Structure formats: C-alpha cells, structure tokens
Structure 1
Amino acid sequence: MTKHLITGVAGFIGSTLAETLLRSGLSVVGVDSLTDYYPVENKQMNLAALQEFSRFEYLNEDILAMSTELHQAVNDCSVIYHQAGQPGVRGSWSDGFDDYVERNVLATQKLLECIEDKPGTKFVYASSSSVYGNADSWPCTETAVPKPFSPYGVTKLAAEHLVTLYAENFGLNSVSLRYFTVYGPKQRPDMAFTRFINAAIHGDTITVYGDGEQIRDFTYVSDIVEANIRAGQTGGNGAIYNLSGGSHATVNEVLEILERVHGEPLKVERVAQQAGDVRRTGGDSTNARERLGWEPQVAIADGIARQYAWQKANQRTMG
C-alpha cells in the first residue's frame, strides 16, 4: 500500500493533513521530534487522535539526526509532506536564529539528500508568505521578487530555494506551497486567532500589536490541507504556488467578527508593533487554481466561528 510521510505530524497543519489522509483510507508515517516551542501537551493530544488509526505509524525523530529508521521511512514513502519547521517571526531574531537555520534550512536539506536519486518521490514543502515581506504591490504573484522582513522569512525562502534547486539538478518531483496566515481548529497557541479566541472565552484582555490595521490574507486549515493533497497527487518540477484563502481582513475587522461570534464585547489592549511584522499580506492564487484545481472554500467569518466553537469545546493548554 502506498505510504505518505508527514514531517511535523503532531503540529497544527501536519496533524490535520494526517487525519484527512487517514480518513480517506491511506497509510501515513508521521515524524515529529516534539520540540517545546509551544506546550508539548497540545502535540501529544494531536498524536493520540492519529494513533487511533491502525494505518498510522509514528516516529519520534529529529530530522537533523536522520536515523537509519527515519532514512528508510523516507525512502519507503511515495509522497513526502514536509510540514516540520521552526515557526514564528518574533522568536527568529538574535540567539533564536540558530534554531530557525537548523530546523527550517538544514532539516530540509537532509530530507532532500535522502531522495535526490528518487525522482519518482513527490516532495511537498510548506513555505510561507513571509518570503514576500513588505512587497511593493499586492496581491503578490509567485514571480514577485521575495524580500523577507524577518529572519524567519529568510530561512523559509532559503529552504524553498533548496527544494527548487534539487528539482532542477536532480529531477526531484517537488512543489513549494506558500501559506498565507493559516487558521482553524488546533492552531498553535502563539498565533493570533487562538490567543484572541481563548481570551474572549475566558474574559481576558486581548493584546493587539500595533494599530490593528495590518491586513492579512487568511486561509482556513482544511483549504490548506486540500492544496497539499492536490500537490501530492500532481507533483511538479520545483513549482511554487501561493495558497491565499482570499479572505482579506484587518486585525480590527477580525476582532469585530469574533465579537459577533462571542456575543459579548471584547477587552482589547494595544501595544507597540513587533519587529518583523509586515503591514500587509495578500497573494494571487491563480496558478494554484489553474494547475492544482484548488479553490478555497471557507470564508473568514465561517472559519472564525468554527475555530471558536472548537476551542470552546476543547479547552486545551493554550499557554
């Protein structure tokens, strides 16, 4: 039976992708070293749900170490969804940069080395809209010159370049997907929607960085998962696709939606903008629509309502 390998399988997107594949009858090998960037308990709960499936195999492995068992798993799988990496803009400055280089760049190179002589293996890399930084115009197309505005964005772009050059040099069947602000159930606790919703549910103050007029293009997690699956089916010779959910909104507009969903006024405190936070994101997903047949399905108001309902029903460790 065809196996699919997912790195970062215990995380937000990785676990959602794994569950979707498993429910469709496929076999999944999941890899995750359970780093402590956010509470490991969250990841363990994601894993527990996946381990209920007999077709799920879990490897608690560090890609950088690349054990014989992990190397064999990589070679046994026909599709690799590389979701693992060190997330977050704010932690990528100063001494934190080492972790970003290791987990975003070096780990990606390790995986690529394993399959450089296996052109039939499809490799789907989770990139980020952070590669664009403060672009000159919006929405960005994939041909826009990348100008990362944070060390995090630099490492995501560097790994993306590795994926492309391995395709060009060795014929690797690879695709890079540039995610635009993904949200939904199981979202990381450090991300804005989780923090906002958790604060609303508990009557706490919501902290907003800057004036709240920053514009983001939000993409619901099930739409991201669908794009990954389509990319894993079609492959590509180093192709790059924007995955933009088409739900443009300011942070203030998001708070207005959340207040309606919550049914009570929110407590909001505004603090200084953080270094590396771009003013706007927005992507043109025409190529993903035309070549992958991908179309985002979930609008921002519906998505926030779904995430709110999930968080209220699943009071996880949100610290």
Structure 2
Amino acid sequence: MTTCLVTGAAGFVGSHLCEQLIARGHRVIGVDAFIPYYPRPLKEHNLAHLQGAPLFSFHELDLRTADLAPLCREADVIFHLAAMAGLLRSWREFDTYMSCNILATQRLLDAARQEGIEHFIHISTSSVYGRFATGDEESPLAPISPYGITKLAAEHLCQAYAENFGLAVTILRLFSVYGPRQRPDMGYNIFIRKILNDELITIDGDGNDSRSNTFIADCVQGILLAFERRDVSVGQVFNIGGGEEVSVNQVLAILAELSGRQPRITHGPPRPGDQRRTVADIRKAQQLLGYQPTTGIRDGLRAQLAWQRANMHQER
C-alpha cells in the first residue's frame, strides 16, 4: 500500500483521482485550501464519496503558508493538482496566480525534497504550448496567458528540483478535461447548464475553436499509469489527452441532440489568451505508459449531461 498525498483533492480531477487511488488499495491524504474560485459547497460535494472512507484523510490547508513537512513525511508519492485555474481571471489577479501556481509549488517541492518523497507527479496544462497546442512534448512552449505562464514556471521549478536535488519528477500536461464534476466556469458545464435552463449562450469568437477533449476517466487513467509505471515515467513529460478533436459549434450540436433542446446562441469577441486549437499528441504516453483514451466525445458529453441534470440544485 502506497501513501499518496493529493493536493487539490476537492477539485474536479483531484476528487476523481482520490477515489481511484483508494479503489486500488492506496492510502490517500487529501489537501485543499478551498480558495473561492467557485463555490465551496460544490467542492465539498466532490468529497462526499470520500468522507468516511477508511483509507482517506483530509486536511484543509493552504500550500502557500502551511507547514508542509508533516504531510510530506507521511507520504510516499505526491500528486500535485492544486492550482489557480482559468484564463480570464489570470489577467486580473496575477498575484493570486503567481502565489498559488508558483510559490505553492516551490514550497511543496522543497518539502518533498527534504522529506525524501519517492515520486512527485506534477499536473500541468496544454496552455503552456500557447495558442496552438498540436505537437508533441518537444514543441516550443509559448504560453499566451498569465495562467499558462505561471503553470510553465511551475514546470521549470519541478525540473530544477529534479536536476539539482535528484527529486523524481513526472510532468503531465492535461488537455481540456470534461465530464461529471467539471468546474462550473468551464465551457461544457456552462453550455449544458444554460441549455437545461433555456438561457442564452455566448460563444467567444466564431465557435470554430477546437479541442481534443479528455474525458475525466481517461485523464485519471493517464495519471495512474504515470504513477504505476514509475520506472519509465520519472524524468519525463507527457501529454494526457483524448483522441477526438471537435469545435465549439460541433459540441453544441451534439448537446442539442442529446438534450433534445435547441440552444439559444449569440457571439462575443474571442477571449484574450484563449487557445485556437489543441490536439493532444499522445504517442509518447501510448508508447511508454500504455495510455489509451477510450471515451468518445458523444459518450462523454452524455455522462456529463446526466450528471448535471441530476445535480442542477448544486449548480445554482
């Protein structure tokens, strides 16, 4: 049994990861600061299936200020998912993004180094590539938002600790994750919520921006493979994404069909710092880790739609 420290445990990806680690017989120490990026009750709801589980314990603390040594002393592996997400807000609140994404990561890395953590798995983002994220892990890194810039800085910190102190680090760049528990500020959650409530949807730009979306179960599979295949994942960077590229307009058409409701749509200007096209090149993860996403966009959207219908009261 491995003891796993998961930061951002109350979040979208973090809560799913905790559940799967416990299902595999590992002990999980969850950490979250409940920074009010979105309502706390939604995050607490994400933890509902974990509370009371014999292999799960939870600590509400802020990585930027807390004493992290005691937590790291208990753990064998760290999954670092905690971060300040979102493009638009990063233009307005750079200090928060800098402290949450850079300072918090540095403090956790330093505690991990001092306490002899066996494996530090850092969760990054396709936003580090810039406006077009279509190549492999060796592609140029040119983020075009403060969010992407701070996430790239966090990657560099991980690599610096690996180079200078021998910390065993793996970096995973996630591509457009969706599915049940998706954050309420994310596109598909907004689209579904507004379709179900018959509200006007504002598309940023022409709707032809495209993503190779990653269903949450496939995303977690990739993270677990990096953990389980430590022999090949340490020292590596992997793209973790889905295999099916769709545009915003195509997603809305699928949701209209699945929901039986026609969305009401208007268009606004493109968001500054938004990516025009992301297509996850996952060949490296496939070859080294055996990663293979299996959920197509239609099945994934059907699952998210069902979850949001069942939890509409939580989203209000």
Paired position in structure 1 for 2:238: 241
Aligned 8 A contact 2:134 2:277 in 1:
no
* Distance in 2 between residues matched to 1:193 and 1:120, nearest whole Å: 36
Task: Please state if 1:156 is matched with 2:154.
Answer: no
Secondary structure of the 2:245 match is strand
Decide which of 106, 109, 112 is 1:109's aligned counterpart: 106
Whether the aligned pair in 1 keeps the contact of 2:180 and 2:304 (CA below 8 Å) is yes
Q: For 2:13 and 2:97, how far apart are their aligned partners in 1?
A: 18
Confirm whether residue 212 of structure 1 aligns to residue 207 of structure 2.
Answer: yes
Which SS does the other structure have where 2:236 is aligned? Answer: strand
Report deviation, 1:119: 5.6
CA distance in 2, matches of 1:73, 1:316: 35
Deviations 1:14-70 (A, max 9, x none): 001111112222211000011100011101111222103121100001011122xx4
| Cα distance in 1 for residues equivalent to 2:53 and 2:239 | 32
Q: Tell me if the contact between 2:208 and 2:249 (Cα under 8 Å) persists in the aligned partners.
A: yes
Deviation per CA, 1:224-251, whole angstroms, max 9, x where unpaired?
Answer: 1111111112234431001120120110
- Is the Cα–Cα contact under 8 Å of residues 171 and 237 in structure 1 kept in the other structure? no
Code of the aligned partner of 1:228: I
- Kept in 1: contact 2:16–2:220 (CA 8 A): yes
Query: Where does structure 1 lack aligned partners over 5 or more consecutive residues?
Result: none
Correspondent of 1:262 among 244, 249, 259:
259
- What SS does structure 2 have at the residue aligned with 1:116? helix
CA distance in 1 between partners of 2:115 and 2:223 (Å): 20
Q: CA separation in 2, counterparts of 1:289 and 1:79?
A: 23
Partner of 2:62: 62
C-alpha distance 225-316 of structure 1, shift in aligned 2 (>3 A):
farther
**Counterpart AA for 1:86:** M
Deviation at 1:267, TM superposition (A): 1.0
Match of 1:285 in 2: 282
Q: TM-score, normalised by structure 2?
A: 0.96
Aligned residues: 314
Contact kept? 1:215, 1:279, Cα under 8 Å: yes
SS at match of 1:93: helix
What is residue 177 of structure 2 aligned with on the other side? 182
118-127 vs 204-213, which deviates more? 118-127
| Match among 90, 95, 98 for residue 98 of structure 1 | 95
Q: Which amino acid aligns with 1:225?
A: V
Deviation of the 1:120 alpha carbon? 5.4
Deviation at 1:164, TM superposition (A): 1.4
CA contact (8 A) 2:121 2:172 kept: yes
Distance in 1 separating the partners of 2:254 and 2:177: 17
Write the letter of the residue equivalent to 1:209: D
Cα shift at 1:109 = 0.6
CA contact (8 A) 1:29 1:59 kept: yes
After TM superposition, list the pairs within 5 Å mapping 1:4-43 onto structure 2. Answer: 4-43=4-43
CA contact (8 A) 1:172 1:238 kept: no
Cα displacement string for residues 175-209 of structure 1 (whole angstroms, at most 9, x for unaligned residues): 11001100000000000000001111111122211
The separation in 2 between residues aligned to 1:175 and 1:25, in whole angstroms, is 22
Q: Tell me the equivalent position of 2:134.
A: 139
**SS in structure 1 at match of 2:239:** strand
SS at match of 1:277: coil
Cα separation, partners in 2 of 1:151 and 1:119, compared to 1, 3 Å: same
- Aligned-pair CA distance for 1:117: 4.5
- Return 5+ residue gaps in structure 2 as ranges: none
Q: Cα gap change, 1:118/1:140 in structure 2, threshold over 3 Å: closer, same or farther?
A: farther
4+ runs deviating over 6 angstroms? none
C-alpha change, 1:172 and 1:234, in structure 2 (3 Å) is farther
CA contact under 8 A between 1:2 and 1:78: conserved in structure 2? yes
Other-structure match for 2:272: 275
Q: What is the aligned-residue identity percentage? A: 41
In 1, the alpha carbon distance for the partners of 2:210 and 2:313 equals: 28
Q: For residue 71 of structure 1, what is the amino acid of its counterpart? A: A
**1:279 shift after superposition:** 1.1
